[in-house]
Structure 1
Amino acid sequence: MKVFSSPAVKKALDEVIIMFGQETGVSIEAVFEPTGQLLRRIDAGESFDVMIAVTESFGPLTTVVDPHTLTSVARSGIGVAVKHGAPEPDISTAESFVQTLRAARSVAYSGVGASGAYFTALLGKLGLSEEVGARATVVDKGYVAQAVVTGNADVAIQQLSELLFVPEAQIVGPFPAELQHYTEFSAAVSAQASDPDQAQAFVNFLTSAPAQTAYTQSSLELPTAPAQ
Protein backbone atom coordinates (compact mmCIF):
# COMPACT_ATOMS: atom_id res chain seq x y z
CA MET A 1 0.00 0.00 0.00
CA LYS A 2 1.31 3.42 -0.95
CA VAL A 3 0.78 6.35 1.40
CA PHE A 4 1.36 10.00 0.53
CA SER A 5 2.04 12.00 3.70
CA SER A 6 3.08 15.40 4.94
CA PRO A 7 6.46 15.24 6.72
CA ALA A 8 4.88 17.02 9.71
CA VAL A 9 3.56 13.66 10.94
CA LYS A 10 6.54 11.54 9.86
CA LYS A 11 8.03 10.80 13.28
CA ALA A 12 4.69 9.50 14.54
CA LEU A 13 3.71 7.83 11.28
CA ASP A 14 6.95 5.84 11.08
CA GLU A 15 5.91 4.18 14.33
CA VAL A 16 2.25 3.85 13.34
CA ILE A 17 3.19 2.10 10.09
CA ILE A 18 5.24 -0.45 12.02
CA MET A 19 2.36 -1.11 14.43
CA PHE A 20 -0.15 -1.44 11.60
CA GLY A 21 2.15 -3.83 9.77
CA GLN A 22 2.61 -5.99 12.86
CA GLU A 23 -1.16 -6.16 13.34
CA THR A 24 -2.18 -6.77 9.73
CA GLY A 25 0.89 -7.96 7.83
CA VAL A 26 0.38 -5.14 5.33
CA SER A 27 3.51 -3.52 3.91
CA ILE A 28 3.38 0.24 3.40
CA GLU A 29 5.47 2.43 1.12
CA ALA A 30 5.36 5.97 2.52
CA VAL A 31 6.23 9.10 0.54
CA PHE A 32 6.84 12.11 2.78
CA GLU A 33 6.68 15.51 1.09
CA PRO A 34 5.01 18.87 1.82
CA THR A 35 1.36 18.97 0.82
CA GLY A 36 2.05 21.23 -2.17
CA GLN A 37 4.54 18.75 -3.59
CA LEU A 38 2.18 15.83 -3.00
CA LEU A 39 -0.49 17.70 -4.96
CA ARG A 40 1.97 18.15 -7.83
CA ARG A 41 2.63 14.39 -7.82
CA ILE A 42 -1.11 13.78 -8.03
CA ASP A 43 -1.47 16.29 -10.89
CA ALA A 44 1.28 14.38 -12.69
CA GLY A 45 -0.80 11.22 -12.44
CA GLU A 46 1.09 9.34 -9.71
CA SER A 47 -1.06 6.79 -7.93
CA PHE A 48 -1.44 6.29 -4.17
CA ASP A 49 -3.78 4.51 -1.76
CA VAL A 50 -4.01 6.88 1.22
CA MET A 51 -3.11 10.54 1.56
CA ILE A 52 -2.33 12.36 4.81
CA ALA A 53 -2.12 16.10 4.32
CA VAL A 54 -3.29 19.51 5.44
CA THR A 55 -7.07 19.18 5.83
CA GLU A 56 -7.88 22.20 3.66
CA SER A 57 -5.94 20.74 0.75
CA PHE A 58 -8.55 18.00 0.25
CA GLY A 59 -11.18 20.52 -0.86
CA PRO A 60 -10.27 20.41 -4.59
CA LEU A 61 -9.62 16.64 -4.50
CA THR A 62 -13.19 15.32 -4.42
CA THR A 63 -12.57 13.27 -7.57
CA VAL A 64 -9.11 12.11 -6.45
CA VAL A 65 -10.01 10.83 -2.97
CA ASP A 66 -13.23 9.46 -1.54
CA PRO A 67 -14.55 12.44 0.47
CA HIS A 68 -16.57 10.13 2.71
CA THR A 69 -13.31 8.68 4.08
CA LEU A 70 -11.82 12.04 5.13
CA THR A 71 -10.69 11.67 8.75
CA SER A 72 -8.92 14.13 11.05
CA VAL A 73 -5.85 12.56 12.64
CA ALA A 74 -3.72 15.23 14.32
CA ARG A 75 -2.77 18.89 14.41
CA SER A 76 0.51 20.70 14.87
CA GLY A 77 1.45 24.08 16.24
CA ILE A 78 4.44 26.11 15.08
CA GLY A 79 7.57 26.49 17.16
CA VAL A 80 11.00 28.04 17.38
CA ALA A 81 14.39 26.35 17.50
CA VAL A 82 18.00 27.50 17.86
CA LYS A 83 21.31 25.67 17.59
CA HIS A 84 21.92 23.32 20.49
CA GLY A 85 23.83 25.16 23.19
CA ALA A 86 22.90 28.63 21.95
CA PRO A 87 21.12 31.00 24.36
CA GLU A 88 17.36 30.50 24.21
CA PRO A 89 15.56 33.69 23.13
CA ASP A 90 12.45 34.91 24.91
CA ILE A 91 9.32 34.01 22.94
CA SER A 92 6.91 33.96 25.87
CA THR A 93 4.84 36.91 24.64
CA ALA A 94 4.04 38.49 21.29
CA GLU A 95 6.23 41.47 22.16
CA SER A 96 9.24 39.38 23.15
CA PHE A 97 8.73 37.15 20.11
CA VAL A 98 8.87 40.19 17.82
CA GLN A 99 12.05 41.38 19.54
CA THR A 100 13.60 37.95 19.03
CA LEU A 101 12.82 38.07 15.30
CA ARG A 102 14.28 41.56 15.00
CA ALA A 103 17.45 40.63 16.89
CA ALA A 104 18.16 37.51 14.82
CA ARG A 105 20.80 37.78 12.13
CA SER A 106 18.52 35.61 10.00
CA VAL A 107 15.29 33.71 10.60
CA ALA A 108 14.80 30.44 8.72
CA TYR A 109 11.40 29.18 7.64
CA SER A 110 9.88 26.83 5.07
CA GLY A 111 9.28 28.08 1.56
CA VAL A 112 6.90 25.24 0.69
CA GLY A 113 5.18 24.11 3.90
CA ALA A 114 2.11 25.32 5.76
CA SER A 115 4.20 26.78 8.57
CA GLY A 116 6.13 28.95 6.13
CA ALA A 117 2.97 30.25 4.47
CA TYR A 118 1.56 31.25 7.85
CA PHE A 119 4.83 32.81 9.02
CA THR A 120 5.13 34.87 5.84
CA ALA A 121 1.61 36.20 6.39
CA LEU A 122 2.39 36.82 10.07
CA LEU A 123 5.43 38.93 9.19
CA GLY A 124 3.14 41.08 7.07
CA LYS A 125 0.62 41.49 9.88
CA LEU A 126 3.39 42.43 12.31
CA GLY A 127 4.91 44.90 9.87
CA LEU A 128 8.14 42.90 9.69
CA SER A 129 8.11 41.74 6.08
CA GLU A 130 10.96 44.03 5.07
CA GLU A 131 12.94 44.13 8.30
CA VAL A 132 12.90 40.39 8.97
CA GLY A 133 11.89 38.98 5.61
CA ALA A 134 14.70 40.67 3.71
CA ARG A 135 17.34 38.74 5.63
CA ALA A 136 15.40 35.51 6.08
CA THR A 137 16.68 32.08 5.10
CA VAL A 138 13.95 30.37 3.09
CA VAL A 139 14.28 26.58 3.06
CA ASP A 140 12.61 24.89 0.10
CA LYS A 141 13.63 21.32 0.93
CA GLY A 142 14.36 19.43 4.13
CA TYR A 143 13.98 20.42 7.75
CA VAL A 144 14.27 24.12 8.54
CA ALA A 145 16.21 23.63 11.79
CA GLN A 146 19.21 22.47 9.75
CA ALA A 147 19.73 26.17 8.95
CA VAL A 148 20.58 26.97 12.58
CA VAL A 149 22.89 23.96 12.80
CA THR A 150 24.86 25.11 9.75
CA GLY A 151 24.90 28.70 10.96
CA ASN A 152 22.85 30.10 8.09
CA ALA A 153 20.26 31.38 10.56
CA ASP A 154 19.96 32.10 14.27
CA VAL A 155 16.32 31.08 14.61
CA ALA A 156 14.29 28.36 12.86
CA ILE A 157 10.50 28.43 12.45
CA GLN A 158 8.56 25.28 11.57
CA GLN A 159 5.96 22.82 12.81
CA LEU A 160 7.03 21.59 16.25
CA SER A 161 6.77 18.00 15.06
CA GLU A 162 9.26 18.74 12.26
CA LEU A 163 11.76 20.60 14.45
CA LEU A 164 12.18 17.31 16.35
CA PHE A 165 13.92 15.78 13.33
CA VAL A 166 17.08 17.83 13.86
CA PRO A 167 18.63 16.69 17.17
CA GLU A 168 21.46 19.22 16.88
CA ALA A 169 18.85 21.95 17.20
CA GLN A 170 17.23 22.93 20.47
CA ILE A 171 13.49 23.59 20.53
CA VAL A 172 12.80 26.81 22.43
CA GLY A 173 9.05 26.25 22.46
CA PRO A 174 5.81 27.05 20.65
CA PHE A 175 4.77 30.45 19.36
CA PRO A 176 3.11 32.60 22.03
CA ALA A 177 -0.60 31.76 22.26
CA GLU A 178 -1.77 34.99 20.64
CA LEU A 179 0.34 34.31 17.54
CA GLN A 180 0.04 30.53 17.38
CA HIS A 181 -1.43 28.79 14.37
CA TYR A 182 -2.46 25.14 14.21
CA THR A 183 -2.40 23.09 11.05
CA GLU A 184 -4.74 20.12 11.00
CA PHE A 185 -3.83 16.97 9.12
CA SER A 186 -6.38 14.50 7.79
CA ALA A 187 -6.29 11.22 5.93
CA ALA A 188 -8.40 9.99 3.03
CA VAL A 189 -8.57 6.92 0.81
CA SER A 190 -7.73 7.38 -2.86
CA ALA A 191 -10.64 7.03 -5.28
CA GLN A 192 -8.36 4.67 -7.21
CA ALA A 193 -6.99 2.68 -4.25
CA SER A 194 -5.77 -0.76 -5.22
CA ASP A 195 -7.52 -2.24 -2.15
CA PRO A 196 -10.08 0.24 -0.74
CA ASP A 197 -10.92 -1.90 2.30
CA GLN A 198 -7.26 -2.24 3.25
CA ALA A 199 -6.72 1.48 2.75
CA GLN A 200 -9.77 2.27 4.90
CA ALA A 201 -8.44 -0.04 7.62
CA PHE A 202 -5.24 1.99 7.70
CA VAL A 203 -7.16 5.27 7.92
CA ASN A 204 -9.16 3.81 10.81
CA PHE A 205 -5.94 2.75 12.53
CA LEU A 206 -4.69 6.33 12.33
CA THR A 207 -7.30 7.27 14.95
CA SER A 208 -6.60 4.33 17.26
CA ALA A 209 -5.26 4.76 20.79
CA PRO A 210 -1.73 3.51 19.87
CA ALA A 211 -1.59 5.99 16.98
CA GLN A 212 -2.77 8.85 19.17
CA THR A 213 -0.05 8.05 21.68
CA ALA A 214 2.52 8.23 18.88
CA TYR A 215 1.19 11.66 17.89
CA THR A 216 1.38 13.17 21.35
CA GLN A 217 4.88 11.78 21.86
CA SER A 218 6.08 13.59 18.73
CA SER A 219 4.79 17.09 19.57
CA LEU A 220 1.54 16.65 17.69
CA GLU A 221 -1.86 17.22 19.26
CA LEU A 222 -5.13 15.43 18.75
CA PRO A 223 -7.58 17.28 16.49
CA THR A 224 -10.21 19.37 18.18
CA ALA A 225 -12.99 18.06 15.95
CA PRO A 226 -13.44 15.59 13.09
CA ALA A 227 -12.92 16.82 9.55
CA GLN A 228 -16.11 17.84 7.80
Structure 2
Amino acid sequence: MKSAFPKLLSAALLCVSLFAPSAHAVDLHVMNSGGFTAAYKLLAPKYEAKSGDTLNIAYGPSMGNSPEAIPNRLARNEPADVVIMVGYALDKLIAEGKVIPGSRVELADSRIGMVVRAGEPKPDIGSVEAFRKTLLEAKSVAYSDSASGVYIQNELFEKMGIEAQMKPKATMIPKIPVASVVAKGDYQLGFQQVSELLPVPGVEFVGKIPESLQSVTRFAAGIPVSAAHPREAKRFLDFLASPEAAPDVASTGLDPLAGK
Protein backbone atom coordinates (compact mmCIF):
# COMPACT_ATOMS: atom_id res chain seq x y z
CA MET A 1 0.00 0.00 0.00
CA LYS A 2 1.44 3.39 -1.02
CA SER A 3 2.10 5.99 1.67
CA ALA A 4 0.03 9.19 1.62
CA PHE A 5 3.02 11.14 2.89
CA PRO A 6 4.24 12.44 -0.53
CA LYS A 7 0.77 13.88 -1.30
CA LEU A 8 0.56 15.50 2.14
CA LEU A 9 4.03 16.95 1.69
CA SER A 10 3.10 18.39 -1.73
CA ALA A 11 -0.05 20.00 -0.29
CA ALA A 12 1.96 21.48 2.58
CA LEU A 13 4.54 22.92 0.19
CA LEU A 14 1.76 24.50 -1.90
CA CYS A 15 0.34 26.17 1.21
CA VAL A 16 3.79 27.49 2.09
CA SER A 17 4.26 28.86 -1.42
CA LEU A 18 0.92 30.66 -1.29
CA PHE A 19 0.98 32.06 2.21
CA ALA A 20 4.61 32.56 3.28
CA PRO A 21 5.72 36.21 3.32
CA SER A 22 7.78 37.52 0.41
CA ALA A 23 11.12 39.26 0.91
CA HIS A 24 11.07 41.14 -2.40
CA ALA A 25 8.62 43.26 -4.35
CA VAL A 26 7.40 41.70 -7.59
CA ASP A 27 5.56 42.61 -10.79
CA LEU A 28 2.07 41.09 -10.64
CA HIS A 29 0.12 40.61 -13.86
CA VAL A 30 -3.61 41.19 -13.32
CA MET A 31 -6.48 40.49 -15.72
CA ASN A 32 -9.62 42.41 -14.81
CA SER A 33 -13.14 42.45 -16.26
CA GLY A 34 -15.28 45.54 -16.76
CA GLY A 35 -17.56 45.52 -13.74
CA PHE A 36 -14.70 45.71 -11.24
CA THR A 37 -12.61 48.20 -13.23
CA ALA A 38 -13.59 51.38 -11.39
CA ALA A 39 -12.90 49.74 -8.02
CA TYR A 40 -9.61 48.34 -9.27
CA LYS A 41 -8.43 51.77 -10.42
CA LEU A 42 -9.04 53.15 -6.93
CA LEU A 43 -7.47 50.22 -5.09
CA ALA A 44 -4.45 49.43 -7.27
CA PRO A 45 -2.32 52.48 -6.40
CA LYS A 46 -3.08 52.03 -2.70
CA TYR A 47 -1.95 48.43 -2.81
CA GLU A 48 1.20 49.29 -4.76
CA ALA A 49 2.11 51.91 -2.16
CA LYS A 50 1.38 49.51 0.69
CA SER A 51 3.09 46.40 -0.69
CA GLY A 52 5.83 47.70 -2.96
CA ASP A 53 4.59 45.36 -5.68
CA THR A 54 3.83 46.66 -9.18
CA LEU A 55 0.50 45.77 -10.81
CA ASN A 56 0.46 45.29 -14.57
CA ILE A 57 -3.13 45.35 -15.80
CA ALA A 58 -4.87 43.84 -18.82
CA TYR A 59 -8.59 44.52 -19.25
CA GLY A 60 -11.14 42.28 -20.91
CA PRO A 61 -14.61 40.77 -20.51
CA SER A 62 -15.15 37.66 -18.41
CA MET A 63 -16.51 35.72 -21.38
CA GLY A 64 -17.21 35.99 -25.09
CA ASN A 65 -15.36 35.66 -28.36
CA SER A 66 -13.34 38.87 -28.36
CA PRO A 67 -9.53 38.52 -28.25
CA GLU A 68 -9.54 40.63 -25.08
CA ALA A 69 -11.76 38.21 -23.13
CA ILE A 70 -9.93 36.81 -20.11
CA PRO A 71 -10.39 33.13 -21.05
CA ASN A 72 -8.96 33.88 -24.51
CA ARG A 73 -6.02 35.77 -23.01
CA LEU A 74 -5.22 32.78 -20.81
CA ALA A 75 -5.57 30.44 -23.79
CA ARG A 76 -2.86 32.50 -25.54
CA ASN A 77 -0.65 32.06 -22.48
CA GLU A 78 -0.58 35.76 -21.65
CA PRO A 79 1.04 36.23 -18.22
CA ALA A 80 -1.42 36.35 -15.33
CA ASP A 81 -0.98 36.13 -11.56
CA VAL A 82 -4.54 37.25 -10.77
CA VAL A 83 -7.84 37.16 -12.66
CA ILE A 84 -10.79 39.31 -11.52
CA MET A 85 -14.05 38.40 -13.24
CA VAL A 86 -17.66 37.27 -13.08
CA GLY A 87 -17.90 34.46 -10.53
CA TYR A 88 -19.46 31.77 -12.70
CA ALA A 89 -16.93 32.44 -15.48
CA LEU A 90 -14.16 32.03 -12.91
CA ASP A 91 -15.73 28.74 -11.77
CA LYS A 92 -15.54 27.52 -15.38
CA LEU A 93 -11.82 28.28 -15.49
CA ILE A 94 -11.34 26.44 -12.20
CA ALA A 95 -13.23 23.42 -13.57
CA GLU A 96 -11.05 23.51 -16.70
CA GLY A 97 -7.90 23.39 -14.58
CA LYS A 98 -6.77 26.91 -15.53
CA VAL A 99 -7.20 28.53 -12.09
CA ILE A 100 -5.97 27.04 -8.80
CA PRO A 101 -8.85 25.36 -6.90
CA GLY A 102 -9.28 27.01 -3.52
CA SER A 103 -7.75 30.32 -4.64
CA ARG A 104 -11.16 31.87 -5.36
CA VAL A 105 -11.95 35.00 -3.31
CA GLU A 106 -15.40 36.63 -3.25
CA LEU A 107 -15.24 40.39 -3.91
CA ALA A 108 -18.55 42.14 -4.60
CA ASP A 109 -22.05 41.93 -6.02
CA SER A 110 -23.05 44.06 -8.98
CA ARG A 111 -26.54 45.14 -10.03
CA ILE A 112 -27.91 46.40 -13.34
CA GLY A 113 -28.64 50.08 -13.79
CA MET A 114 -29.93 52.41 -16.50
CA VAL A 115 -28.68 55.67 -18.03
CA VAL A 116 -30.00 58.29 -20.44
CA ARG A 117 -28.10 60.98 -22.32
CA ALA A 118 -27.14 63.97 -20.18
CA GLY A 119 -29.89 66.60 -20.25
CA GLU A 120 -32.64 64.16 -21.18
CA PRO A 121 -35.55 63.53 -18.78
CA LYS A 122 -35.09 60.61 -16.41
CA PRO A 123 -37.85 58.04 -16.99
CA ASP A 124 -39.58 56.31 -14.10
CA ILE A 125 -38.20 52.84 -13.36
CA GLY A 126 -39.17 52.77 -9.69
CA SER A 127 -41.62 49.90 -10.04
CA VAL A 128 -42.04 46.95 -12.37
CA GLU A 129 -45.03 48.54 -14.12
CA ALA A 130 -43.28 51.89 -14.52
CA PHE A 131 -40.19 50.13 -15.84
CA ARG A 132 -42.24 48.16 -18.36
CA LYS A 133 -43.92 51.37 -19.58
CA THR A 134 -40.53 53.08 -19.96
CA LEU A 135 -39.16 50.22 -22.02
CA LEU A 136 -42.19 50.02 -24.28
CA GLU A 137 -42.13 53.78 -24.92
CA ALA A 138 -38.38 53.91 -25.62
CA LYS A 139 -37.28 54.37 -29.23
CA SER A 140 -34.04 52.41 -28.75
CA VAL A 141 -32.30 50.42 -26.02
CA ALA A 142 -28.68 49.31 -25.65
CA TYR A 143 -27.19 46.68 -23.35
CA SER A 144 -23.76 45.10 -22.90
CA ASP A 145 -22.29 41.88 -24.24
CA SER A 146 -21.31 40.75 -20.74
CA ALA A 147 -23.32 38.98 -18.02
CA SER A 148 -25.89 41.77 -17.52
CA GLY A 149 -26.63 42.09 -21.23
CA VAL A 150 -26.94 38.35 -21.72
CA TYR A 151 -29.53 38.32 -18.93
CA ILE A 152 -31.46 41.25 -20.45
CA GLN A 153 -31.51 39.67 -23.91
CA ASN A 154 -32.28 36.10 -22.89
CA GLU A 155 -34.38 36.48 -19.75
CA LEU A 156 -35.50 39.95 -18.67
CA PHE A 157 -37.66 40.95 -21.65
CA GLU A 158 -39.28 37.52 -21.71
CA LYS A 159 -39.91 37.66 -17.95
CA MET A 160 -41.65 41.01 -18.43
CA GLY A 161 -43.74 39.74 -21.34
CA ILE A 162 -42.34 42.30 -23.81
CA GLU A 163 -39.80 40.24 -25.75
CA ALA A 164 -41.54 40.71 -29.12
CA GLN A 165 -41.86 44.48 -28.68
CA MET A 166 -38.23 44.93 -27.59
CA LYS A 167 -36.51 42.75 -30.18
CA PRO A 168 -36.59 45.30 -33.05
CA LYS A 169 -35.24 48.17 -30.95
CA ALA A 170 -32.86 46.54 -28.45
CA THR A 171 -29.18 46.08 -29.38
CA MET A 172 -26.23 44.34 -27.71
CA ILE A 173 -23.12 46.55 -27.71
CA PRO A 174 -19.81 44.64 -27.87
CA LYS A 175 -16.52 45.65 -26.23
CA ILE A 176 -17.22 49.32 -25.43
CA PRO A 177 -19.17 50.82 -22.49
CA VAL A 178 -22.89 51.01 -23.20
CA ALA A 179 -23.08 54.49 -21.67
CA SER A 180 -20.70 55.80 -24.34
CA VAL A 181 -23.17 55.11 -27.16
CA VAL A 182 -26.00 56.65 -25.11
CA ALA A 183 -23.85 59.73 -24.52
CA LYS A 184 -23.46 60.14 -28.30
CA GLY A 185 -27.23 59.94 -28.79
CA ASP A 186 -27.13 56.64 -30.67
CA TYR A 187 -29.52 54.99 -28.16
CA GLN A 188 -32.13 56.42 -25.82
CA LEU A 189 -31.70 54.00 -22.89
CA GLY A 190 -28.58 52.11 -21.80
CA PHE A 191 -28.28 49.16 -19.43
CA GLN A 192 -25.17 47.74 -17.84
CA GLN A 193 -23.78 47.01 -14.40
CA VAL A 194 -23.90 50.19 -12.32
CA SER A 195 -20.13 50.23 -11.78
CA GLU A 196 -19.62 50.36 -15.55
CA LEU A 197 -22.17 53.13 -16.12
CA LEU A 198 -21.11 55.63 -13.45
CA PRO A 199 -17.61 56.52 -14.78
CA VAL A 200 -18.80 57.44 -18.29
CA PRO A 201 -19.29 61.17 -19.00
CA GLY A 202 -22.23 62.51 -20.97
CA VAL A 203 -24.97 60.41 -19.37
CA GLU A 204 -27.35 60.67 -16.41
CA PHE A 205 -27.68 57.68 -14.10
CA VAL A 206 -31.38 56.96 -13.66
CA GLY A 207 -31.10 54.15 -11.11
CA LYS A 208 -31.03 50.40 -10.64
CA ILE A 209 -33.76 48.33 -12.26
CA PRO A 210 -36.41 46.98 -9.83
CA GLU A 211 -34.96 44.45 -7.38
CA SER A 212 -37.50 41.77 -8.30
CA LEU A 213 -36.13 41.88 -11.87
CA GLN A 214 -32.46 42.14 -10.96
CA SER A 215 -29.76 39.75 -11.99
CA VAL A 216 -27.03 40.11 -9.39
CA THR A 217 -23.57 39.41 -10.75
CA ARG A 218 -20.96 38.16 -8.27
CA PHE A 219 -17.40 39.29 -8.90
CA ALA A 220 -14.63 37.05 -7.66
CA ALA A 221 -10.91 36.59 -8.20
CA GLY A 222 -8.48 33.72 -8.41
CA ILE A 223 -4.91 32.70 -9.18
CA PRO A 224 -4.14 31.00 -12.52
CA VAL A 225 -2.18 27.75 -12.36
CA SER A 226 0.48 29.44 -14.51
CA ALA A 227 0.96 32.34 -12.06
CA ALA A 228 4.60 33.31 -11.61
CA HIS A 229 3.94 34.82 -8.16
CA PRO A 230 1.11 32.89 -6.44
CA ARG A 231 2.17 33.94 -2.92
CA GLU A 232 2.09 37.65 -3.73
CA ALA A 233 -1.11 37.17 -5.72
CA LYS A 234 -2.78 35.71 -2.62
CA ARG A 235 -1.83 38.77 -0.59
CA PHE A 236 -3.32 41.04 -3.26
CA LEU A 237 -6.57 39.06 -3.29
CA ASP A 238 -6.80 39.27 0.50
CA PHE A 239 -6.47 43.06 0.21
CA LEU A 240 -9.20 43.33 -2.46
CA ALA A 241 -11.61 41.34 -0.25
CA SER A 242 -10.74 43.17 2.97
CA PRO A 243 -12.82 45.66 5.01
CA GLU A 244 -10.06 48.17 4.21
CA ALA A 245 -10.97 48.02 0.52
CA ALA A 246 -14.76 47.94 1.00
CA PRO A 247 -15.42 51.74 1.03
CA ASP A 248 -13.70 52.20 -2.34
CA VAL A 249 -15.55 49.20 -3.78
CA ALA A 250 -18.89 50.61 -2.58
CA SER A 251 -18.15 54.07 -4.02
CA THR A 252 -18.12 52.63 -7.53
CA GLY A 253 -21.65 51.22 -7.35
CA LEU A 254 -20.74 47.69 -6.27
CA ASP A 255 -21.93 45.98 -3.08
CA PRO A 256 -18.80 44.77 -1.26
CA LEU A 257 -18.88 41.40 0.45
CA ALA A 258 -16.23 42.09 3.11
CA GLY A 259 -17.59 41.29 6.56
CA LYS A 260 -20.69 39.48 5.22
TM-score, normalised via structure 1 length: 0.94
Percent of pairs with identical residues: 32
Moved over 6 A (4+): none
Q: 1:77 to 1:225 in 2, by over 3 A?
A: farther
- The superposition leaves residues 20-56 of structure 1 with CA deviations (integer Å, 9 ceiling, x where unpaired) of 1000111111112110111122223323110011111
Which of 129, 133, 136 does residue 167 from structure 2 map onto?
Answer: 133
Indicate whether 1:113 and 2:146 are aligned: yes
Deviations 1:155-184 (A, max 9, x none): 000000000121211100001111112100
Higher relative contact order (Cα pairs below 8 Å, separated by 6+ residues) = 1
1:195 to 229, 246, 249: 229
| 8 Å contact from structure 2 (residues 90, 221) kept in 1 | no
Does 1:54 pair with 2:81? no
Matched residues in 1 for 2:185 and 2:137: separation? 15
> Where does structure 2 lack aligned partners over 5 or more consecutive residues?
1-27, 64-68
Aligned to 2:60: 33
Q: Deviations over 1:81-119 (max 9, x none)?
A: 101111010001111101111111100101x21110111
How far apart, in 1, do the equivalents of 2:148 and 2:243 lie? 27
Say whether 1:147 aligns with 2:181.
yes
SS in 1 for 2:119: coil
Matching of residues 45-84 of structure 1 within 5 Å: 45-62=77-94, 63-84=97-118
Q: Secondary structure, in 3 states, of the residue corresponding to 2:247? A: helix
Q: Using the alignment, how far apart are the partners of 1:155 and 1:122 within structure 2?
A: 15
Task: Find the counterpart in structure 1 of residue 40 from structure 2.
Answer: 13
Q: Which residue of 1 aligns with 2:30?
A: 3
Q: Which amino acid aligns with 1:83?
A: R
Q: Give the number of aligned pairs.
A: 225
CA contact (8 A) 1:143 1:165 kept: no
Distance in 2 (CA, whole Å) between partners of 1:213 and 1:129 is: 38
2:165 is paired with a residue of what secondary structure? coil
Whole-Å separation in 1 of the counterparts to 2:191 and 2:171:
10
Distance 1:101 1:224, change over 3 A: farther
Q: Which residue of 1 aligns with 2:4?
A: none
Of 209, 212, 225, 2:246 maps to 212
3-state DSSP class of the match of 1:152?
A: coil
The aligned amino acid for 1:135 is: K
Which structure is larger by alpha-carbon Rg, 1 or 2?
2
| 1:81-92 pair list within 5 angstroms | 81-92=115-126
Distance 1:210 1:138, change over 3 A: same
What secondary structure does 1:10 align onto?
helix
Task: Supply the distance in 2 between the matched residues of 1:33 and 1:129 (Cα, whole angstroms).
Answer: 29
Q: Does the 8 Å contact 2:115/2:205 carry over to 1? A: yes
